[in-house]
Amino acid sequence: MREIGEHEIEPLAIGAWILGTGGGGSPYLNYLNLRKLYAQGHRISLMDPMDLKDDDLVAVVSNMGAPLVGQERLNDPATAARAVEMMEEYLGRKFRAVMSVEIGGGNGLQPLLVAAQMRVPVVDADAMGRAYPEAQMTSFAIGDLPMYPLSLCDVRGHESFVTKVTTWKWMERISRKICVEVGSIASTCKAPRSGKEVKQWGIHYTTTKAIRIGEAV
Closest CA to 118 of 101, 141, 95: 95
Q: Give the lowest-confidence range in 40-54, 68-82, 133-147, 180-194.
A: 68-82
The pLDDT tens digits of the residues spanning 26-60 come to: 999 999 999 999 999 999 999 999 999 999 999 99
Kindly give the pairing relationship between strand 57-65 and strand 97-100.
parallel
Which CATH code fits 2-216? Answer: 3.40.1610.10
pTM value? Answer: 0.96
**Angstrom distance (rounded) from CA 47 to CA 36:** 22
Buried b (16+ CB within 10 A) or exposed e, 67-76: beebeebebb
> What are the angstrom distances between the C-alpha of 176 and each of 33, 81, 171, 188, 208?
25, 19, 8, 11, 30
